[in-house]
Amino acid sequence: MKNIVIFASGSGSNAENIYNYLKNYNNINISLIITNNKNAYVIERAKKLNIPCEIIPKSQFKNSDFVLNTLKKHNANLIVLAGFLLLIPEYLINNYKIINIHPALLPNYGGKGMYGDNVHKAVIKNKEKESGITIHFVNNKYDEGKIIFQAKCDILPNDTYESLAEKIHALEYKHFPHVIVDVANKLD
């Protein structure tokens, strides 16, 4: 059994989508959701889905023993970032394969502060013709890890950042779960 731990800072819609997709697999499981935000809606989703959830504030991420022991307790094989807004500490990168989804076609529109609507507003402001998602391995810099997968969507002249966000969410929901399964199945 491959155990996935999802890190999320917000609503958890991607976490729930991943959970629903993984119900069809006997060899992959979400063993834990970790959030750094005590007010994140992902906590409610975790309760509803009966997935253990730990709130680990930003300050506690500096405590490598605590975080690594938490992951070990839940037999983590893979960490999946699904709207997690903290820079991942080096000790996690050195101990786990970690994948992230980004709401743009990296290397464009990546880096610190480039998440969610900030990305979509910048893409619309710059009158881009297309956007998309990038799923990548995590390294010690925001959005610079090796790219695993990208999917694109067209941006129409009448698109707003809200309508672009809807297109991006559709791509995330469609592609992120199967890429997670592919990565998990390649682990030792």
Cα dihedral: 53, 58, 60, 61 (round 10):
90
Q: What digits encode the pLDDT tens for the residues 144-173?
A: 999 999 999 999 999 999 999 999 999 999
Whole-structure pTM over 0.85, yes or no? yes
Q: What digits encode the pLDDT tens for the residues 103-143?
A: 999 999 999 889 889 999 999 999 999 999 999 999 999 89
Which member of 74, 102, 120, 136 is catalytic?
Answer: 102
Annotated active-site residue 102? The verdict is yes
Q: What digits encode the pLDDT tens for the residues 30-87?
A: 999 999 999 999 999 999 999 999 999 999 988 899 999 999 999 999 999 999 988 8
pLDDT of residue 144: 94
10 and 2 Cβ atoms separated by less than 8 Å: no
CB 6: neighbour CB atoms within 10 A? 28
Is residue 188 scored above 90 in pLDDT? no
Fold of 2-185: Rossmann fold (3.40.50)
Instruction: Extract the tokens encoding 24.
Output: 């069809």
pLDDT of residue 63: 87
- Catalogue the long-range contacts made by 161-164 (C-beta closer than 8 Å, 24 or more residues apart): 161/117, 161/120, 161/121, 161/123, 161/124, 162/120, 164/120, 164/123, 164/124, 164/131
SS3 for the chain, per residue?
CEEEEEECCCCCHHHHHHHHHHCCCCCEEEEEEEECCCCCCHHHHHHHHCCCEEECCHHHHHCHHHHHHHHHHCCCCEEEECCCCCCCCHHHHHHCEEEEEECCCCCCCCCCCCCHHHHHHHHHHCCCCEEEEEEEECCCCCCCCCEEEEEEEECCCCCCHHHHHHHHHHHHHHHHHHHHHHHHHCCC
Domain map of the chain by residue range?
Answer: 2-185
pLDDT of residue 24: 87
